Structure formats: C-alpha cells, structure tokens
Amino acid sequence: MQVSHPSHSVNNPDAARLDFLLVADMVAPGSRVLDIGCGDGSLLALLRDRKNVDGRGIEISREGVNACLAKGLPVIQGDADTDLADYPDDAFDYVILSQTIQATRQPKVVLEQLLRIGRRAIVSFPNFGHWRVRLELLLGGRMPVTENMPYTWHDTPNIHFCTIRDFVELCREVGARMDKAAALDAGGHPVRVVLPWWIWNLLGEQGVFLLTRAKD
C-alpha cells in the first residue's frame, strides 16, 4: 500500500490545512489518536499542539517516519493492509485514515480494523464521483487525471477509488454509524449544501466521515 496525497495539498498548503482543521474539529481534546498513513506528521503535530492529543502514527515511507521522529511523534513504519491486526481492541479513541483508503488492498477489511482498534474512525478520501471526474470520463472517454488524482491508471497507488455514495454503502455494510460527514470542495472548504448525498457526490472533491461502531 502506498499513500498518496491529493496534489492540491502540495500546491495549496492552505487547502491541506483546512482539511486537517476539519479533522481536528472532529477530535475531542486529550484523546488517544492513531493516524494511519500519517505522512510527515503534520496532522498529528497539529492534534498534539492544539488538542493535547496523545497521538501515534503509521507511515509506509522511511522519509515520512524520520520527519515524524524529528517532530517527536511516535510513528512506526508500517502498512495499513498488514499491521492493523496487531493492535488490541479499543486501543484508541480515534483512528484516522486520511487520503489513504483508496490505496489499500482491502478497504473493507481496513475499515473494519479501524472500527475495532478505535472507538471512532475518521476517514477522508478523494471522491471519484466528483463532476470533474465524471465529465472527463464522459467526454474524454479515458480514466480521469485531475489535479486531485494526478496519476495515470497504470501507475497509481490508488487501486480502490470510490465515490462518496460507494463509501456510504460500505459503512452500512460494515455496520458503521455516520456521526458526521462533510464534502470538501477543491479549496478544502466544506460544500455548503445539505444532503441528499447525490449533491455531495457531485460537488465534493473529498469526503470526510466521522464513524462509530453501530453496536456501541
């Protein structure tokens, strides 16, 4: 599994920060958080500094892990597809999977693991149902390559793209309750239109979900 970050977070750091701030808003102060695919630890550092969070991370790249260690963040080099099974039940208050689920081999298993390890899960992902993606496929007839999804179909870590509606369906399948949901536009701002889902699915470049185990 590889972790890709949408290019707009590189091109537009403010957008990334808005994305992180939205996630940070979903996290209660002082809680225990695991960030899977934590990159250079920016979100974990934000959560530690602003929310007094006791954070842990998993990151696949050595460069990312070293950047995290230098920030004083306890991050282990690892893989969401294989390493989550080793964590005990209810080890964290929140498990965050940011811009990573589309790059896992088994998204459903990973989501189930998130909800086992954490009381709550926060999942964000690029929305394959966004109108720009649809338009490119409809008119161009080729796999979309957008600012948000910059890879060609044959050379991409993102092997399991989904739409916001697909994800909502997966949540139902694994018994996850959606406590909060947001669709973000290209600038990282929440789409200021309320449900139905098809609106978000069309206008959201990213989906962000706060999930709880339904049985709790």
Partner 1 sequence: MSSMSSAFQTPESRSQIDDPSSLVARFGADEPLALDAGTPLGPWQIAYQTYGTLNADRSNAVLICHALTGDQHVANVSPITGKPGWWTTMVGPGRPVDTDRFFVICTNVIGGCMGTTGPASTDPRTGQPYALDFPVITIRDMVRAQAALIDRLGIESLFCVIGGSMGGMQVLQWAASYPERVFAALPIAAAARHSAQNIAFHEVGRQAVMADPDWRGGRYLIEGTKPTKGLAVARMGAHITYLSEMALHRKFGRNYQDRSAPTFSFDADFQIESYLRYQGLSFVERFDANSYLYVTRAMDYFDLAAEHEGSLARAFKGSATRFCVISFTSDWLFPTSDSRAIVHALNAAAASVGFVEIDSDKGHDAFLLDEPEMFAAARGFIDAAARVRGIA
The contact set with partner 1 (CB under 8 A) reads 32, 56, 62, 65-78, 86-88, 91
Nearer to partner 1, 76 or 137 (CB): 76
Dist. CA 204–CA 18, nearest whole Å: 14
Give the separation between CA 64 and CA 165, rounded to whole angstroms: 31
Tell me how far, at minimum, the Cβ of 76 lies from partner 1, in Å: 4
**Of the two residues 56 and 213, which places its CB atom closer to partner 1 in the complex?**
56
* Residue 42 CB, nearest approach to partner 1 (Å): 15
What is the distance between the alpha carbons of residues 167 and 137, in angstroms, rounded to a whole number? 20
Q: How many CB atoms are located within 10 Å of the residue 202 CB?
A: 18
Residue 18 CB partners (closer than 8 Å, separation 6+): 184, 187, 188, 189
Which residue, 78 or 118, is less far from partner 1 as judged by CB? 78
The nearest distance, CB 2 to partner 1, in angstroms, is 16
Judged by CB, which is closer to partner 1: 66, or 146? Answer: 66
Taking residue 54's Cβ as centre, other Cβ atoms within 10 Å add up to 14
CB of 136 to partner 1, least distance (A): 38
